Structure 1
Amino acid sequence: MSCSCSSSTNTQNELHASIMQKINNHPCYSQDAHQHYARIHVAVAPACNIQCNYCNRKYDCSNESRPGVTSYKLSPEEAVKKVLHVGGLIQQLSVVGIAGPGDGLANPKQTFETFSLLKKYAPDIKLCLSTNGLMIHKHIDEIAKYNIEHVTVTLNSVDETGEIGSKIYPWVFYEHKKHRGVEGAKLLLEKQLLGIQMLVERGILVKVNSVLIPGVNDEHLPFVARKVKELGVFIQNVMPIISKPEYGTKFGLDGVPSATHKQLMKAQEACDVNVKLMRHCRQCRADAVGLLGEDRSDEFFKESFADKSFEELAHHYDLNQRMKTHENIETWRRALRAANGKINQEEATNKDELSSNGNTMLVAVTTRGNGLINDHFGSAKEFLIYEAGDKAIKFIMHRKVENSYCMGKENCNGTYPIEEIKNALSDCHLLLTQKIGDCPQKELESIHLTCDESFADEPIEISVLKGVRKHFFTAS
């Protein structure tokens, strides 16, 4: 009996180690990794086999950061050349994803040709695929063949009647026919669940993206979370619908509102009891480049790499130097973990695990990455949000704003866009930032937000705990 238990434990440990190795430097599958490693999406898949009411695949929209948008399409050869070019300049690049602007498996020739070339010229990089799930079952062998260890499937409903799905998908194109309404939604769900099951059986890590659509599937998402846990999905990402009318989507033009921060938090909390959640998603463009909190796609146009040879770009990619860079990143991450200690309770589901008295605070942090509080308030265009008590902390989400408080001398017209920031941080209690001026600090005090720059350039997690203890738990 003891031998059997030991064998089982060893197997579980080996499985855990295998999974940790797969996600260690994947910025989407690991919340910790996203502060240190970069990703690139290559836009080789223009066609799509379903229509979503929240989607509009437009081109030349470099000012937008949302799924489906790209400035230009690439051939498989151009895509791999771009990866080699970018990977030599951004050596913390660790993942290549195909995420559109259509669906990767609706463009299988371009998708798998790209992955084949990447295996040859960039063998160190992780391969990632995003799909609506309709065609996974037909391409599962190719996904396994190219060692694509991470697949993201968008699953917005598990309603077997098709009623909810029919409100999201006007049509589904399968086997040379458009299936509309309830019929299409039921067909899509059947293939999605089959595809996810096949991926999990092959040991491929699955991330499920679920778009939060107020009034359509917001109350239904906990059922999605329950189902994906049952299927063995690794992580779920509940992402807010982006539906401004100017984006031209059906939902946007029909007046379906974008999901608010509070609605997203409510949905995440409802799903959190069922499956591990991804809380740091940035809803990236189909040609995104860089850390998750940044997008450098406008720095890399075809002219900078298309005419260069694979041999020249492979030399520029410099595998040996990239390995050294990644080793340095891991050394830094070990130092950060030692400094932060074991205070981040990602799996905490109630406030008593974070606080000795059941009270917790929301803390906003400005950062440019590397796990440090290293960004001025004036230049911050996003804030990391943590829930914290006097015992531990938990990462909740990131919140973007369209304009930073200070837009630089060239764009400064004497006004400072503070109202959007105040709205984004209205439920927060503490702001930890590298630097903040007297004027914005007074503005934030009007919403009862305490600002503290004494933790500048310090590790984020331990600073969040210390900051909450300093300002809200001094008696204890």
Structure 2
Amino acid sequence: MKLPVINNTTVTSEAGGCASGSCGSSDASVQSLPESIRAKVADHPCFSEQAHHFFARMHVAVAPACNIQCNYCNRKYDCSNESRPGVVSEVLTPQQAVKKVKAVAAAIPQMSVLGIAGPGDPLANPQKTFETFRRLTAETPDIKLCVSTNGLTLPECVDELCQHNIDHVTVTINCVDPEIGAKIYPWIFWNHKRIRGVEAARILIEQQQKGLQMLIDRGILVKVNSVLIPGINDQHLIEVSRIVKEKGAFLHNVMPIIAEPEHGTYFGLTGQAEPTPAELQAVQDACAGDMNMMRHCRQCRADAVGLLGEDRGAEFTLDKIDAMEIDYEAAMVKRAEVHEQLLGQLYAQRESVVQPDTALQGRAVLMAVATQGGGLINQHFGHATEFLVYEASDDGVRFIGHRQVEKPYCEGGSSCGEDAETLLDKLLNSLQGCEVLLCSKVGYEPWSALEQAGIQPNGEHALEPIEDAILAVYQEMLTKGLLQTPDRVDLKSA
């Protein structure tokens, strides 16, 4: 994969790279938007990076059929061990979905958004999808409704989408060139027949672009998802980003292909490479420019429940829901109170962030953070299932992405698991490129291993806001002269 040469780990590109923190997914990039739009994304964990620390989402799996085949997709049912799009444990009827939404909203008052994202394509299952939306619009009016689609039948569904409480739509657009599309999509099912190759990709692209424009014209906020496939659309995604931005898409989410052989996808079985974190960051930065770039996506299951980065779906299976008594009127009152408190915390953190001392200048630094949410450093190193990665520089702090780990290093109790050494090696590998790790606590053994790997653990900022703590550590590193600006480097070899 050919990557742009960068300075301070930030891509510069004729397509619109930027060294400013406003080019990332920071909420600073939406401050100039009209208040009506800002209000729509303030508590939406998928459309606002800062909101994902505070608010939860859920997906209901009511849409099993799909009208296209993607080489990176394999829909699985009754699967509890995989966390990726297209995987569910239960496919629900609309009636079951509404009951589950009420149960989750009552038990998790932080929940603000309900989405239908599969396990197939929601708009290829219009009857089930729209019956679910109709019921939710009437029975859960305080919940935002979202839908994710491949866009093939989007134009014919826009009118129906507008009839419900749906003002956020995600469209997956992996290319705008049919020749590239033919390498990603083996076939589509269109007008009652299966179409293959370049012609199939051409039809899909035309429908996606038409539907995108129709949504924008109706005032619906659109997030565009693009799967980064090294060697196929990596360089092309810069053009995709340019076009969807021109049409008015609010947010672009460039996410890495998942191509592990055990998932049984075509790309997984043929050895398609997955991008490294550095390669993903390079493409995201090259696509960013003044476009909002989503970097906190977790590529959720089609039945995900909870905060981004966690999955509480096992708590709300059909058998457990049937045994619950739900007072949704009372739940709405409680949720309104909790949301008001969370928004207050969110805005307070946003206002409190300080800026670095510009009297000293240095190179950018990647820092990993262990957090349980709330925008705070509040998790023990050994309990983390993922780490958030931020870049600190003279321009401030910007969120880069997340690094998942196979399972927590410490399973709890007085000792860690027998395979702790192997887990620690994998964990250190997942943090490659990071120079600092911020957490609430860390044990002696992993502390030493982190230092040996060139990662400085830091537990001095427990319970502090993430960005404030990162800036404090960055400022300390500047003061100690640890961040002299290097010559330009190629990110791929860095």
TM-score by length of 2: 0.88
Separation of aligned partners in 2, 1:191 and 1:292: 30
Aligned-partner Cα distance in 1 for 2:330–2:274? 40
Letter in 1 for 2:51: A
Paired residue type of 1:105:
L
**Aligned residue in 2 for 1:421:** 427
- Over the aligned positions, Cα root-mean-square deviation in angstroms equals 2.0
Q: 1:454 to 1:280 in 2, by over 3 A?
A: same
Find 2:41's aligned residue among 23, 47, 59. 23
Q: Are the equivalent residues in 1 in contact too, given 2:86–2:301 (CA < 8 A)?
A: yes
1:250-303 Cα offsets, whole Å, 9 max, x none, are 000011022221121111111112521000000000000000021111111101
CA distance in 2, matches of 1:13, 1:237: 19
Superposition pairs for residues 343-362 of structure 1, below 5 Å? 357=361, 359-362=363-366
1:280 aligned to 2:296? yes
Per-residue Cα deviation, 1:389-416 (whole angstroms, up to 9, x for no partner): 2451111111111122112349722633
- Equivalents in 2 of 1:452, 1:89: separation in Å? 34
Residues 436 and 230 of structure 1, relative CA distance in 2, 3 Å threshold: same
Q: Report how far residue 335 of structure 1 moved.
A: 2.9
Structure 1 equivalent of residue 333 of structure 2: 320
Question: Which of the numbers 171, 174, 197 marks the counterpart of 1:153?
Answer: 171
Contact in 2 for aligned 1:429/1:448 (Cα 8 Å): yes
Partner of 1:333: 346
1:13-92 maps to which residues of 2 (within 5 A)?
Answer: 16-92=34-110
Task: Output the amino acid matched with 1:261.
Answer: P
Query: How far apart are the structure 1 equivalents of 2:419 and 2:210?
Result: 57
Q: Aligned match of 2:259 in 243, 268, 283?
A: 243
Instruction: Map 1:280-319 to 2 at 5 A.
Output: 280-306=296-322, 313-315=326-328, 318-319=331-332
CA distance in 2, matches of 1:380, 1:406: 9
1:445 aligns with 2:461: no
Distance 1:367 1:257, change over 3 A: same
Q: Residues of 1 paired with 2:169 and 2:119: CA distance?
A: 16
Secondary structure of the structure 2 residue equivalent to 1:20:
helix
CA contact (8 A) 1:140 1:199 kept: yes
Q: In the aligned structure 1, how far is the partner of 2:107 from the partner of 2:359?
A: 44
The 2-side partners of 1:84 and 1:411 are apart by 38
State the alpha-carbon separation in 2 of the partners of residues 70 and 411 from structure 1: 30
Which of 115, 118, 126 aligns to 1:97? It is 115
For the 8 Å contact 2:121–2:148, the answer to whether it is kept is yes
Q: Structure 1 residue 111 and structure 2 residue 129: aligned? A: yes
- Deviation of residue 198 (structure 1)? 0.2
- One-letter amino acid of the structure 1 residue matched with residue 452 of structure 2: S
User: Unpaired segments of 5 or more residues in structure 1?
Assistant: 1-11, 344-352
Q: Is the 8 A contact 1:62 1:70 kept in 2?
A: yes
* Aligned positions, number: 451
Q: 1:235 offset after TM fit, Å?
A: 0.3
Amino acid at match of 1:333: L
8 Å CA contact retained: 1:244, 1:257: no
Aligned-partner Cα distance in 2 for 1:15–1:113: 33
Partner of 2:144: 126
3-state DSSP of counterpart to 1:149: strand
Return the TM-score normalized by structure 1: 0.91
Check conservation: 1:90, 1:290, Cα contact below 8 A: yes
Q: 1:167 aligns with which of 183, 189, 213?
A: 183
TM-aligned CA distance change 1:414 to 1:163, over 3 Å: closer
1:7-30 CA-partner distances (Å, limit 9, x unpaired):
xxxxx9996101101101000000
Q: Distance in 1 between matches of 2:436 and 2:148?
A: 36
Deviation per CA, 1:417-453: give whole Å up to 9, x if none. Answer: 1111111112111111110111111111122111110
SS of corresponding position for 2:294: coil
Higher relative contact order (CA 8 A, sep 6+): 2
* Distance apart, 1:97 and its partner CA: 0.1
Q: Are residues 421 and 125 of structure 1, via their aligned partners in 2, closer, same or farther at CA, if it must alter by over 3 Å?
A: same
Percent of residue pairs identical: 52
- CA–CA distance in structure 1, aligned partners of residues 51 and 261 of structure 2: 34
1:379 aligns with 2:392: no
Distance 1:113 1:241 in 2: 32
Give the aligned partner of residue 371 of structure 2.
Answer: 367
Deviation at 1:473? 3.5
Is 1:461 aligned with 2:477? no
CA distance in 2, matches of 1:58, 1:48: 13
Letter in 2 for 1:405: Y
SS at match of 2:244: helix
Give runs of aligned pairs for residues 203-222 of structure 1, distance below 5 A: 203-222=219-238
The answer to whether the 8 Å contact 2:31/2:38 transfers is no
Q: Call closer, same or farther: CA 1:191–1:317 in 2, change over 3 Å.
A: farther
Please report how far the alpha carbon of residue 474 of structure 1 lies from its aligned counterpart in structure 2 after TM superposition: 3.2
